[in-house]
Structure formats: C-alpha cells, structure tokens
Amino acid sequence: MEFNNLYENLKHRVYNTVLSYLQSPEEAEELTQDVFLIVYQKLPEFKEEAQISTWVYRIAINKSLDYLRFKTRQKRFAFLSSIWNEESGEIQHDKPEFVHPGILLERKEQSKYLFAALNQLPENQKTAFILIYIEQLSYQEASEIMAISIKALESLVQRAKKTLREKLINFKY
C-alpha cells in the first residue's frame, strides 16, 4: 500500500488512540507523527501476516505506552528533585483533568472521571478497554492488535469493566 493512502486512511484513528492514552492533544499530535514516521521507515519491511491497520495500531499503542513510561520516569525524577511548587505550595506534578474531544458536550463531566479511572488500570486492561469501547474495534481486530486470543481479550475487558465500576461507584450522573 502506498504510504500517503495509508496515512490518510489511518491518521485520525491513530490520533484518537494515542490521545486516549496520552490525554494531551499536543502530545498526541506529536506522537502520531512519530508513529507515521516509523510506519514510513518500516513499510518496506512489512510482512503481510496481519492487516496493515493492525500493524499500525500496534506501533501506535507501543509508542503510547513507551511514552507514558518515559513520562512516569521523568515525573519520579522531578518528584525527587522538587516536590512542591514554591509559589503555591501545592504538588506540581498532578495531571490535569482530561476530556476527550470526541465526547459529546453533555458527557464531558462523566468522561473526565472515566479517563481518570482508566489511567489507574494495568496497561493491558487499559489497552483492551480503549480498543473495544473508545475505538469501537471488533474483538477480532483488537485481539490481533494486542496479539492475544479473543478469550484473553474478553477476560481483560471484563476485568477492566469490573475495576472501572469499582472506581466509579461513587460517581453521580
């Protein structure tokens, strides 16, 4: 497949997936560009053992998780160097509340609680939940992207839903 067509067909889906992880439009835009740079560089090596969209999703998810791990390491270092904001006296490294831009206006308040709880899930549960409920992929597509069986994916989704229910039990609509 030609790179330009691939980019045009997948750029919005990749951006939305990355945005669900990073919860920062600016960082998601930058990481989406990084994903497609990798795709461009590795496209000649692509073996058609899976769909090309599955391959691109894997790259996007791996880059997102790597970036989050990197940011966590940076936060730990920053935490050790400077815990408190000298001016306000507050902790400086709390993540701002995130509202996905694709969420309808009346659901924005609810979505910030969902994304806060989603950030507390283990990586594999978070990925399963994002692919199924936010990206609305089929179980077949999501299992291929995650390189796991459909049964394993179903288990991850169920555990993610159970954990999210527990975390969101006190949320009032």
Domains of the chain as residue ranges with CATH: 1-96 (1.10.1740.10), 98-173 (1.10.10.10)
pLDDT at 87 over 60: no
The pLDDT of 103-107, averaged and rounded, is 50
- Give the model's confidence band at 109: pLDDT under 50 very low, under 70 low, under 90 confident, else very high: low
Residue 104's pLDDT is 47
The pLDDT of 109-129, averaged and rounded, is 86
Own/partner pairs, 113-118, CB within 8 angstroms, 24+ separation: 113/168, 113/171, 114/164, 114/168, 115/20, 115/23, 117/163, 117/164, 117/167, 117/168, 118/20, 118/164
Mind listing the pLDDT tens digit for each residue in 4-39?
A: 999 999 999 999 999 999 989 999 999 999 999 999
Which amino acid is present at 112?
K
- Report the predicted TM-score, pTM, of the whole model to 2 decimal places: 0.70
- Tell me if residue 84 falls in helix, strand or coil: strand
Residue 110's pLDDT is 67
Tell me whether residue 12 is exposed, middle or buried, using C-beta atoms within 10 angstroms of its C-beta: 0 to 12, 13 to 18, 19 or more. Answer: exposed
Mind listing the pLDDT tens digit for each residue in 33-83?
A: 999 999 999 999 898 888 999 999 999 999 999 999 888 776 544 443 344
Residue 121 and residue 129 in contact, taking contact as beta carbons nearer than 8 Å: yes
d(CA 148, CA 61) in angstroms, rounded, equals 14
Q: Which residues contact 4 (CB under 8 A, 6 or more apart)?
A: none
Residue 18 tokens read as 């990355």
